[in-house]
């Protein structure tokens, strides 16, 4: 009888480098880092594609319903949605971009006057005057400096100096995204089916749970907080425009973005009152304080008591600090599109941490 081998161990000198576990770990790490670096270099191309794929996922239930109930082919319904999306986006940019550029230029020229009025107020004429003047001089010399923390790393800072160039770039992006959306939405069901076919059956249940959580993160953000931010920004624009608040376009845009961060939009309330005061050449305090405050209270109340409860069940809640960090990192890496995707991507990273990393750390901590 032949002796039973304890194991089929290959001699050490005959092994390849990738047959050692530490070497495999290093190779996998280098591969992941390389893919992330490549994605970062190609972020200008990849971010519109990712955004279009997410939009195709969000609109897929409606397109599927039209195909099944109304007997409208997927290609037709996807084309209509893409056309409406492109029209709305181009119209918003064509109207909003010149307005924002005009208000930014007006604010830049009015900063010395505002700084002089602030420095001359009682209690502000001492040590506050030099810092105010320094900030004003910096912004006047380089208006895009205030936007670098948000749009840095994407070329948007430089193009901001040329308003026409910025508008053209935004229009091109807004045209490309609907085109990608049409291509993805047309065959989205086949794309999903093809992706699940390559998943091993043993890993299917766990990956299905992970995919469901990713879907909840992205759907919850775009159907929840992002929708709330857009509606709030529009309401602030109408209210502060009617109240004759200076630079109401910039202020409402800032308020809408800050709505994504819990309780952060409150900073626009005193800012609206301050701008109203600095622009007024006298007038009564009721019009300076009352109308901007009334707009903020009404819109903030509508957002907090009506809009947010309607979408609360679909929103993946994050702390204010986590949202701020995600927005700043996304803006630095990918500009406007990066900020748009930052919060749901952060939620997905946290899901991966909770499902794959944290259990192992807890298990190691519980061992004697």
Q: How far is CA 156 from the centre of its chain?
A: 15
Looking at residue 263, the DSSP 8-state letter turns out to be T
pLDDT in tens, the chain (368 residues): 445 444 455 555 566 666 676 777 788 788 888 888 888 888 778 888 888 888 888 888 888 888 888 888 888 888 888 888 888 877 877 788 788 888 888 888 888 888 777 766 544 444 545 555 555 555 555 554 554 444 444 443 443 444 444 455 556 667 788 888 888 988 888 888 888 888 787 878 888 888 888 877 777 777 777 788 888 999 999 999 998 899 999 899 889 888 877 677 888 999 999 888 888 765 677 788 899 999 999 998 888 788 776 665 445 566 667 777 887 888 777 776 777 778 888 888 888 888 888 887 787 776 65
Give residue limits of the domains in the chain: 40-198, 205-353
The pLDDT tens digits for 172-228 are 667 788 888 888 988 888 888 888 888 787 878 888 888 888 877 777 777 777 788
**Does pTM surpass 0.85?**
no
Q: Report the C-alpha gap between 129 and 90 in whole angstroms.
A: 42
DSSP assignments along 128-186, one per residue: THHHHHHHHHHHHH-GGGGGHHHHTTTTHHHHHTSHHHHHHHHHHHHHHHHHHHHHHHH
Please tell me the chain's helix, strand, coil percentages from 3-state DSSP, rounded to the nearest 5. Answer: 85, 0, 15
């Amino acid at each position: 009888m032949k002796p039973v081998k304890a194991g089929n161990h290959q001699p050490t000198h005959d092994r390849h480098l990738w047959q050692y576990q530490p070497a495999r770990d290093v190779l996998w790490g280098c591969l992941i880092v390389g893919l992330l670096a490549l994605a970062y270099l190609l972020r200008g191309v990849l971010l519109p594609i990712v955004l279009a794929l997410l939009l195709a996922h969000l609109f897929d239930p409606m397109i599927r319903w039209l195909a099944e109930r109304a007997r409208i082919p997927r290609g037709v319904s996807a084309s209509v949605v893409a056309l409406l999306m492109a029209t709305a986006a181009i119209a918003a940019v064509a109207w909003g971009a010149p307005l924002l550029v005009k208000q930014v230029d007006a604010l830049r020229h009015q900063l010395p006057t505002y700084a002089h009025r602030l420095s001359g107020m009682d209690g502000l004429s001492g040590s506050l005057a030099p810092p105010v003047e320094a900030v004003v001089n910096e912004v006047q010399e380089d208006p895009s400096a205030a936007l670098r923390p948000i749009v840095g790393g994407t070329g948007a800072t430089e193009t901001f100096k040329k308003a026409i160039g910025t508008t053209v770039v935004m229009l091109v992006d807004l045209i490309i995204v609907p085109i990608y959306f049409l291509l993805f939405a047309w065959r989205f069901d086949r794309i999903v089916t093809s992706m699940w076919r390559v998943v091993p059956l043993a890993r299917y249940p766990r990956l299905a749970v992970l995919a469901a959580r990713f879907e909840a993160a992205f759907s919850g953000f775009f159907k929840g907080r992002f929708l709330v931010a857009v509606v709030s920004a529009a309401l602030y624009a109408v209210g502060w425009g009617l109240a004759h608040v200076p630079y109401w376009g910039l202020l409402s845009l800032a308020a809408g973005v800050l709505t994504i961060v819990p309780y952060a939009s409150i900073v626009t309330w005193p800012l609206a009152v301050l701008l109203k005061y600095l622009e007024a050449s006298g007038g009564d305090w009721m019009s300076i304080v009352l109308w901007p405050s009334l707009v903020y209270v009404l819109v903030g109340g509508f957002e907090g008591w009506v809009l947010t409860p309607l979408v609360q069940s679909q929103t993946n809640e994050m702390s204010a600090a986590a949202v701020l960090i995600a927005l700043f990192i996304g803006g630095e890496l990918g500009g406007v599109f990066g900020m748009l995707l930052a919060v749901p991507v952060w939620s997905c990273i946290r899901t991966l941490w909770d499902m794959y990393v944290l259990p192992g750390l807890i298990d190691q901590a519980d061992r004697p």
